[in-house]
A and B are shown apart, each in its own frame.
Chain A
Amino acid sequence: MTGVNGENGENGENGVTADAGSVRAGDALPPLEIAITRTLVVAGAIASRDYQDVHHDAELARQKGAPDIFMNILTTNGLVGRYVTDHFGPAAVLRRVAIRLGAPNHPGDTMVLTGVVEDVRGDTATVRVVGANGLGNHVTGTVTVTLPVTLPVTMPGKNAEGPA
């Protein structure tokens, strides 16, 4: 299985959704770098209605044994979902996101999300996602997404690059 970098790399950015038929197990998603800023940590926590002090108050975070504030799990969940839908495009539908956290995301760090398509069944793809930061793996998880299926009558002169 080669599959390093699929042909579908830019689907999301063009507003075009990948077709289930063009996605293969082993396809790698292009990495997404996320700068972990203090603003991102706090904005994510507040947008997810999470007012735990360890996500916005560095002093209290330190009292609880952390070196600084850290990203909450809802933000990580949101970023993982975004990573997958960014790649597959707006018509891709998230069905399941299951994540486990490891090393915390502290301000100043960078998290690099990578993903590999593990399995494709019918219109449903399973993507294994890892988000690594300077301390190790912040998140490992699996995302299940359904993709539109076009009839197997492929377009004549199929051109993977452009939505025409």
Chain B
Amino acid sequence: MSGKAASGGDGPEDVFALLKAYVGRAAVGGVGKDLVNEPMIRHWCEAMGDTNPAYAGADAIAPPTMLQAWTMGGLSGHGGRSEAYVELLALLDDAGYVSVVATDCEQEYLRPLRPGDRITFDSVIESVSERKTTKLGTGYFVTTRMDVRAGDEPAGTHRFRILKYVPAAGQRRRGGAAGATATGESVAAPRPQRPRPVVNRDNAGFWEGVSRHRLLIQRCLKCGTLRFPWLPGCNSCGCLEWDTVEAAGEGTVYSYVVMHHPPFPAFDPPYAVGLVELAEGVRMISNVVGVPYDRVRIGMPVRLEFERVDEDLELPVFRAVGRGGG
């Protein structure tokens, strides 16, 4: 993790901008290490002092509140953590937010679990808070939402929030400096930012590609049809299986509009919005750059490049090629 420019305040760096990129990405997925089973149910009931007869005997169900327990990694750890979730936690650890505490748990139980049920689960990173100062210390709330299934049936949902934080005691400087608690971070003059992409499970691969300067097009594994923008299924045959091909980067302006009004913050009208037909055949909406807005023309050849819009956002755009120019 390359260190960014120091943010100026004392205490650990505010990494919110980096964390946001993980929202919508998969967090954990996998198969429960044990089938739902009587011994674990009994051990749970013993620990909780729960003598409910529904949890014992021939037609026993598991206590519904065990939902999360069936998904736990245990001593051998979580095999099923996604790369994104591991990265997110590592990013926080590296920035000094090493402590973790669970703060919220919201569970819905859709079907009782019985001994023999095989549990599968997957979760997404639902949200990341801005940096907050709590009694425990300063840090970030990370919320995940998990779907739990028994066999193929939905069994429950589990929303879980943790606080990754720097312990308040650890923040006290040896010299007893700074009377203020870390609440009053100075906020730089808010410069309007371009809208952020909404990244979810259906399009995460696209944005991952963008981060590696690759423009990825989905390809149906059944009929081979290319599709863009990213969708869960094939428009042509409905198949849900797909892989990707990387766009070579050549394209032409298929159509365009020039935006004059209304002006959006962070945009500077007039500017041209192009519908670019890629050499591979799919079309994509993006900016046409390197040419004045009033010189964009249908049929104009363009070439893909990646434009860094701000510190956290990079976008694929298309630069006019040929035509009188350098």
Can you report 22 residue pairs joining A to B where beta carbons are below 8 Å apart?
A12-B52, A34-B49, A43-B47, A48-B47, A48-B72, A54-B101, A65-B99, A65-B169, A72-B102, A73-B105, A78-B66, A79-B48, A82-B52, A94-B64, A94-B109, A95-B108, A96-B106, A96-B108, A97-B105, A98-B105, A100-B103, A101-B103
The answer to whether B50 and A64 have CB atoms under 8 Å apart is: no
The answer to whether A98 and B107 have CB atoms under 8 Å apart is: yes
User: In the assembly, what is the distance between CA of A7 and CA of B54, in Å?
Assistant: 23
**Residue A21 at the chain B interface, CB threshold 8 Å:** no
How many whole Å from A81's CB to the nearest CB in chain B? 4
Q: Inside 8 A of B104's CB, which chain A residues have their CB?
A: 98-101
The answer to whether A95 and B109 have CB atoms under 8 Å apart is: yes
User: In the assembly, what is the distance between CA of A80 and CA of B65, in Å?
Assistant: 9
Q: Inside 8 A of A79's CB, which chain B residues have their CB?
A: 48
The answer to whether B52 and A90 have CB atoms under 8 Å apart is: yes
The 7 closest A-B pairs by CB, nearest first: A65-B167, A49-B72, A81-B65, A98-B106, A73-B102, A43-B47, A47-B47
Chain A residues engaging chain B, CB cutoff 8 angstroms = 12, 15, 34, 40, 43-44, 46-52, 54, 64-65, 72-75, 77-82, 85-86, 90-91, 93-101
User: In the assembly, what is the distance between CA of A73 and CA of B100, in Å?
Assistant: 12
The answer to whether A81 and B63 have CB atoms under 8 Å apart is: yes
**Residue B136 at the chain A interface, CB threshold 8 Å:** yes
Residue of B nearest to A17 (CB): B54
Given A65-B99, A82-B52, A94-B109: A47 and B43 interface contact (C-beta under 8 Å): yes
Q: Inside 8 A of B101's CB, which chain A residues have their CB?
A: 54, 101
Given A47-B43, A49-B72: A64 and B107 interface contact (C-beta under 8 Å): no
How many whole Å from B169's CB to the nearest CB in chain A? 5
The answer to whether B168 and A78 have CB atoms under 8 Å apart is: no
Q: Inside 8 A of A15's CB, which chain B residues have their CB?
A: 53
In this complex, the member of B109, B169, B170 whose beta carbon has the largest number of chain A beta carbons within 10 angstroms is B109
The answer to whether B107 and A96 have CB atoms under 8 Å apart is: yes
How many whole Å from B262's CB to the nearest CB in chain A? 41
The answer to whether A81 and B102 have CB atoms under 8 Å apart is: no
Residue of A nearest to B65 (CB): A81
Q: Inside 8 A of A98's CB, which chain B residues have their CB?
A: 104-107
Q: Inside 8 A of B63's CB, which chain A residues have their CB?
A: 78, 81-82, 94
Q: Inside 8 A of A94's CB, which chain B residues have their CB?
A: 63-65, 109
Q: Which of B46, B52, B73, B170 contacts A65 (CB 8 A)?
A: B170
Given A64-B167, A90-B54: A97 and B107 interface contact (C-beta under 8 Å): yes
Chain B 293-321 interface mask (CB, 8 Å, partner A; 1/0): 00000000000000000000000000000
Q: Inside 8 A of B168's CB, which chain A residues have their CB?
A: 65
Q: Inside 8 A of B24's CB, which chain A residues have their CB?
A: none
Q: Inside 8 A of B53's CB, which chain A residues have their CB?
A: 15, 90
Q: Inside 8 A of B47's CB, which chain A residues have their CB?
A: 40, 43-44, 46-48, 75, 78
The answer to whether B106 and A47 have CB atoms under 8 Å apart is: no
The answer to whether B167 and A48 have CB atoms under 8 Å apart is: no
Q: Tell me the B136-185 residues at the A interface (CB within 8 Å).
A: 136-137, 167-170
Given A47-B40, A51-B75, A100-B103: A74 and B109 interface contact (C-beta under 8 Å): no
User: In the assembly, what is the distance between CA of A82 and CA of B40, in Å?
Assistant: 16
How many whole Å from A90's CB to the nearest CB in chain B? 5
In this complex, the member of A40, A54, A72, A77 whose beta carbon has the largest number of chain B beta carbons within 10 angstroms is A77
